[in-house]
Structure 1
C-alpha cells in the first residue's frame, strides 16, 4: 500500500487574515512495508503532514495518493471512510481517547462501528489485546483502572482492531518511563516485521537509528531531507546546522574519532559499534 505525496501544501485558516502555511510543496514516497521516521522541530509540519495520511486534513494544494486512492482539496469527507480503516493513527497521548466501561469494549468499538457483529468485534478485541501484550485479566476491567502504559496499549489495540495496513505514530512514547518506551518501540518493531508499514514522528534519534529504514526531515513546512538513517547521520555538521541531534552511539563514535580511531562510516547503533570494536580488537588494530 504505497504512499505518494505530490507538491502538497497546507494552510491553516486559508483565505483569512490569520492564514498560516504549515506545509509547502512537499513531495515524497513511502514504500510498502517500510519503517519511516519523520524528524523535525516543533512547528516544522510533521504532525500536519501525518494528519493528511488518513484524511484528518486535506491538502490546500497538491495531492496525496494511498494505494491508488487520491486525496485532493476537492475530496469529500464521505469518501475517506475506507482510508481511515487502512491507515491507523496513534496520537501522542492516545489513552485520552478511551471512553468505554471495559478494556474489551473499548478495543471492540472500532470494528463494531465498521460493521462487525458483536461476536466478531469481541474476538478481534481479544486478539489485539494479546498482540499488544495485555494480560487476559484486564479485559473486563475499566481502562481507567490500569497503569499509564497499559492504558496506552489499550488505545493502540483499539486502533489495531481496525486492522490497518499502515500505522502512523505521532510521538507515541511521550510521557512513558524508559522501560515503557522500550516496550512500546519493540511492539512497533514487531508489527513492522509482520509486514505493517510504520510511520513514526519522533524527536528520539536513537529510535530513528535503531528501527527506521527511511528518514524524512521537515523544516518550516518544507521537506529538506528524504534519505536513509545511515546517510542522514553520516553528516553531523549538516545536522548541527539544522539543530538536530545524533544518536548516542554516533556521538560516542565521534569522540573516539577525536582520540584517533578511524571509521569507514559512523556507526548508528550499539550493536554496530560493538561489532566494529570487537573486530578491531580481534585484528589487533583497535587504535587505527
Structure 2
C-alpha cells in the first residue's frame, strides 16, 4: 500500500495554553513495498507521524492517503475499521499489551475481533507464532511466563494476525540486549522479504537504517528536512552533525580511515559487510584507492 502525507499539520491541545505544533506542513511519500526508516532527534514528531497511519491521530489539517483511503480532520472512527486491518502498529514495549491467559488466545484476539471464528482465528494464531519464531510448545501456556523477547514476539504475532499490508515499528528493539535486538531486526527483514510487507521503522539506531532500510525520511521540529535513500542521507557527516544525527558505525569508521590518507572510498560504505569488502579491495590495489 502506498502512503502519502500532504500538507499535514498536527497540533496537540489546540486552543489551550498547552498548545504544541508537533507536525508542520509534512508532505512526503512512503513507497509501496519499501522498508522506510523515519529518523530525527527526540521530539521531532516521529511517533506523532506514525499514529496518523491508522487513524489513532487525525490531522489538524492536511491529509494522509493510504492506498485509496484518505484520512482528514473530519474522518470518523467508524470509517477507519477497514484501514486498521491493513496497517499494524508495533509500539515500544508491545509486550505490555498482552492480556489473554494463553499465547494462542492472545495472538488470535485480533482476527476474532475482525469476524473470524474461534477455529479460524486460532489457526491464524498458530501460523503467526511460527512466522515470528515461537515454538509450538508454548502456545497453550501463559504469555506472562515467557522471556521478555518471547513476549515481544507474541505481541508482534498478534499484530501480524490481522494480515496487515503495512507494518509500523516504533523503536521495536527498545530494552533488548544486542543479541535480542539483532534477532528482532532480522525477523522484521524476513517478514519484509517473505510477506512483501511495507515496513515503516522509527529508530535512533543508525546501524538499523543502514542495514535494513531502502528509504529514509528525516524529521526535525515537526518538518521533513530530507527524504532519500540511506546512502544519500549519510553521505554528509557535517549535515548529520548539524541535525543531531549519528553515522552508522561502519560509515564513521570509513571516514576515520579516509582521514589517514591511506584509503579513499568513492562511495562511503554503510554496513560492516560493505566496509570489509571496500577495505579488501583497497588493500588488493596497494592500500590506496584513487577512484
User: Which deviations, in whole Å up to 9, do the C-alpha atoms of 1:203-226 show, x marking residues without a partner?
Assistant: 000000000000011111111111
2:149 is aligned with 1:155? no
Distance 2:42 2:121 in 1: 38
Alpha-carbon RMSD across the aligned residues, in angstroms, is 0.9
1:19 CA drift (Å): 1.1
Deviations 1:229-279 (A, max 9, x none): 000100110000111100000110011011011110211001111111122
Q: The residue matched to 1:52 in structure 2 has which SS?
A: coil
Deviations 1:15-70 (A, max 9, x none): 22221110000000111110000001211100000000011000001001001100
1:111 aligns with 2:114: no
Equivalent residue number for residue 225 of structure 1: 226
Secondary structure of 2:7 counterpart: strand
Q: Does 1:190 align with 2:203?
A: no
Please give the residue correspondences for 1:106-185 in structure 2 after superposition, counting only pairs within 5 Å. 106-185=106-185
User: Is 1:53 the equivalent of 2:53?
Assistant: yes
> Within the alignment, does 1:259 sit opposite 2:257 as a pair?
no
- TM-superposed CA distance for 1:286, in Å, is 4.3
Instruction: State the SS of the aligned residue for 2:51.
Output: helix
Change (3 A) 1:287 1:68: closer
Q: Which structure 2 residue ranges, 5 or more long, are not aligned?
A: none
Shift of 1:124: 0.2
**Conservation of the 8 A alpha-carbon contact between 2:265 and 2:289:** no
Q: Structure 2: how far apart are the matches of 1:193 and 1:271? A: 19
- Contact map agreement 1:214 1:229 (CA 8 A) in 2: yes
Match of 1:201 in 2: 202
Residue 210 of structure 1: aligned partner: 211
Which residue does 1:98 correspond to in 2?
A: 98
Name the SS of the counterpart of 1:199 in structure 2.
Answer: strand
Separation of aligned partners in 2, 1:102 and 1:173: 24
- TM-score (structure 1 length as normaliser): 0.98
- 2:75 matched to 1:75? yes
Deviation by residue 1:184-221 (Cα, 9 ceiling, x = unmatched): 00011011112100000000000000000000111111
TM-score normalized with structure 2 length: 0.97
The structural deviation recorded for 1:280 is 1.9
Counterpart position of 1:242: 243
Deviation at 1:287, TM superposition (A): 6.6
Does the CA contact (< 8 Å) of 1:277 and 1:286 recur in 2?
Answer: no
- Equivalent residue pairs, number: 288
| Partner of residue 271, structure 1 | 273
